[in-house]
């Protein structure tokens, strides 16, 4: 994935994938010695002499190569008896890009674990969602990540606990259960084992402007890391330009929206910064913290590997100037796959403004109301179950699109169609194409922005075709698809660069 790694004046190019990079000791040692932050989250360095594990970019003097060993996950390090470095905080690195660019069972399992499924439903629930036995899931995760689903979920609980300990004055007993621990004793033991500090010591060490600042009651202030570069223009521009009134807004330099979560609801404000995304979260139930963070990261595509993406797209001489001009574009995604599918249907063959109007009417009529003391958000986007009860005659749209929408929400509501982080991309595409009114554009925009397929492509999209014509690329769908084969597996990102050639509001960071 990543090509090129700078080590002082020594530059090496690596081709192929970084899949299972932790098994290539020589490669990992060079990454650690160069303190290359692009490898954070790809693997972890465990130091045999200190029993500490670090991210590759740890600022301390690198240990001797013979004292290093490498693991594919923080959970594997913890399971082997290593504790997290207090300097580089390896548990706070961006997630591995592998889980958002692959559709195999391990990647789907990791997305579900990130969404808190193991904490809510246990390993049997994880296996059921994936259609495998618990033994098969455990064996595959252990083989690739060095840790099973329980250990991976435990590492995630530890990180959630650390966030709450360091950024809130919430009592420790409440933090234990909010982070998903079954008992206070398990919480205390895990925190000590992972961080070599008690929960009280962690809070005492936190910067004064974090744990000890009163802030806004009930609001958590967090920093979401990402791999550089990140171009916020199309990312936040797209979310703001298509924002549904009452559910989303751009206010005071931040994209804000309501969140439907497993235990309750929330409101999040996301602000682009030079080296992180500022995140302010208000939750009705603190048990939703892990899920809320995971969904916001996914919406902003923060675990992407922009160097790998841009290097591949630069191989096309007509795309290279676009990439060089504004590298690091992300694919704007969603916090709710079913919501996005509904909105995609509302946006068929109409303008962005018209799509927002249709969505706003549904929100006002069928959305659940929420309080937002800090802004103008009023509702959660209506659930498929709520929309399944609507009268089709009340929809101000052509009869064909009414049928498309009502069929979609009915299947989402009764469970015959499921859209989630665990969805198999090709299988879900086929199921969507079988619905009335679903053509290639609708299916692929859902695959791109809801399911997270990094290779989804929109050759029939008018914006893509206009951009192709201006750049001298083929503009007919068949010819453009043939040319785009060289952009694989990152065609969804190529779409962002093609869209960026236009003057539509989606391409500009709001002011």
pLDDT digits (tens, 9 = 90+) for 432-476: 999 999 999 999 999 999 999 999 999 999 999 999 999 999 989
pLDDT of residue 94: 77
Q: Report the relative pairing of strands 52-54 and 83-84 from DSSP bridges.
A: parallel
Both tokens of 50, joined, read 């200190």
Both tokens of 96, joined, read 């591995």
**Cα–Cα distance between 192 and 171 in angstroms, integer?**
17
Q: Record the pTM.
A: 0.88
**Cα–Cα distance between 169 and 88 in angstroms, integer?**
24
Both tokens of 469, joined, read 């014509």
pLDDT of residue 11: 33
Both tokens of 205, joined, read 């060490």
SS3 per residue for 461-492 = CHHHHHHHHHHCCCCCHHHHHHHHHHHCCCHH
Catalytic annotation, pick one of 40, 91, 305, 461: 461
Both tokens of 145, joined, read 């990540």
CATH number of the domain at 98-167+170-211, out of 1.10.10.60, 3.40.50.300, 3.40.50.11740, 3.30.2030.30? 1.10.10.60
Q: Is 104 noted as a catalytic residue in this protein?
A: no
- Averaged pLDDT of the chain: 90
Nearest one of 431, 454, 496, 494 to 443, comparing CA atoms: 431
pLDDT of residue 148: 94
Burial class (CB in 10 A: 0-12, 13-18, 19+), 275: exposed
Nearest one of 81, 84, 72, 86 to 44, comparing CA atoms: 72
30: preceding bond cis by omega (within 30 degrees): no
Q: Beta-strand (E) ranges in 244-339? A: 248-251, 254-260, 265-272, 277-283
List strands edge to edge, sheet with 265-272: 219-224, 277-283, 265-272, 254-260, 248-251
Q: Which residue has the tokens 């252990």?
A: 142
Arch. (CATH architecture) of 5-92: 3-Layer(aba) Sandwich (3.40)
pLDDT of residue 19: 57
- Which ranges of 1-116 does DSSP label H, i.e. alpha helix? 25-34, 74-79, 98-101, 105-114
Catalytic annotation, pick one of 28, 36, 40, 54: 54
Residues of the chain with pLDDT under 70: 1-20, 208-217
CATH number of the domain at 215-511, out of 3.40.640.10, 2.40.160.40, 3.30.365.10, 1.10.340.30? 1.10.340.30
Beta-bridged to residue 257, according to DSSP, are 248, 268
**Cα–Cα distance between 474 and 472 in angstroms, integer?**
7
pLDDT of residue 203: 92
DSSP three-state, residue 333: coil
**Cα–Cα distance between 408 and 213 in angstroms, integer?**
46
pLDDT of residue 210: 53
**Cα–Cα distance between 266 and 370 in angstroms, integer?**
9
Q: Where are the domains of the chain?
A: 5-92, 98-167+170-211, 215-511
Q: Is 296 noted as a catalytic residue in this protein?
A: no
């Amino acid at each position: 994935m990543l090509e090129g790694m700078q080590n002082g004046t020594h530059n090496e190019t690596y081709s192929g994938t970084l899949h299972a990079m932790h098994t290539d000791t020589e490669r990992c040692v060079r990454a650690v010695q160069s303190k290359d932050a692009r490898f954070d989250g790809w693997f972890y360095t465990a130091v045999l002499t200190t029993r500490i594990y670090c991210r590759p970019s740890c600022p301390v003097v690198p240990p001797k190569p013979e004292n290093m060993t490498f693991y594919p996950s923080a959970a594997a390090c913890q399971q082997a008896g290593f504790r997290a470095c207090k300097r580089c905080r390896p548990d706070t690195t961006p997630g591995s890009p592998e889980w958002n660019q692959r559709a195999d069972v391990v990647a789907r399992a990791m997305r579900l674990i990130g969404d808190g499924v193991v904490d809510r439903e246990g390993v049997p629930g994880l296996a059921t969602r994936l259609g495998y036995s618990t033994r098969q899931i455990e064996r595959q995760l252990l083989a690739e990540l060095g840790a099973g689903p329980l250990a991976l979920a435990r590492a995630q609980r530890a990180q959630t606990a650390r966030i709450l300990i360091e950024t809130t004055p919430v009592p420790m007993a409440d933090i234990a259960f909010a982070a998903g621990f079954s008992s206070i004793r398990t919480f205390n033991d895990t925190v000590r084992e992972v961080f070599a500090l008690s929960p009280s010591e962690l809070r005492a060490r936190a910067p004064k402007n974090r744990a000890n600042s009163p802030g806004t009651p009930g609001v958590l202030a967090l920093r979401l890391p990402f791999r550089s570069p990140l171009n916020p223009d199309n990312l936040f521009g797209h979310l703001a330009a298509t924002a549904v009134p009452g559910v989303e807004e751009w206010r005071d330099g931040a994209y804000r929206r309501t969140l439907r979560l497993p235990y309750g609801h929330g409101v999040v404000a996301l602000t682009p910064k030079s080296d992180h995304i500022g995140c302010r979260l208000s939750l009705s139930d603190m048990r939703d913290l892990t899920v809320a963070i995971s969904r916001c990261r996914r919406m902003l595509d923060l675990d992407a590997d922009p160097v790998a993406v841009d290097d591949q797209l630069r191989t096309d001489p007509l795309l290279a100037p676009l990439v060089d001009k504004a590298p690091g574009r992300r694919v704007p995604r969603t916090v709710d796959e079913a919501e996005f599918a509904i909105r995609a249907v509302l946006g068929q063959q109409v303008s962005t403004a018209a799509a927002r109007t249709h969505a706003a009417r549904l929100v006002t009529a069928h959305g659940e109301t929420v309080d937002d003391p800090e802004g103008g958000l009023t509702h959660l986007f209506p659930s498929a179950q709520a929309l399944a009860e609507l009268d089709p005659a009340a929809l101000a749209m052509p009869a064909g699109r009414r049928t498309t929408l009502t069929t979609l929400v009915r299947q989402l509501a009764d469970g015959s169609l499921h859209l989630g982080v665990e969805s198999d991309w090709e299988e879900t595409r086929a199921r969507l194409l079988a619905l009335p009114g679903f053509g290639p554009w609708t299916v692929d925009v859902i695959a791109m922005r809801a399911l997270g397929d990094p290779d989804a492509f929109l050759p029939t999209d008018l914006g893509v075709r206009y951009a192709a014509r201006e750049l001298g690329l083929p503009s007919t769908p068949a010819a453009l698809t043939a040319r785009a084969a060289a952009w694989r597996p990152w065609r969804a990102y190529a779409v962002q660069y093609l869209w960026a050639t236009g003057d539509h509001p989606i391409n500009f960071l709001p002011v």
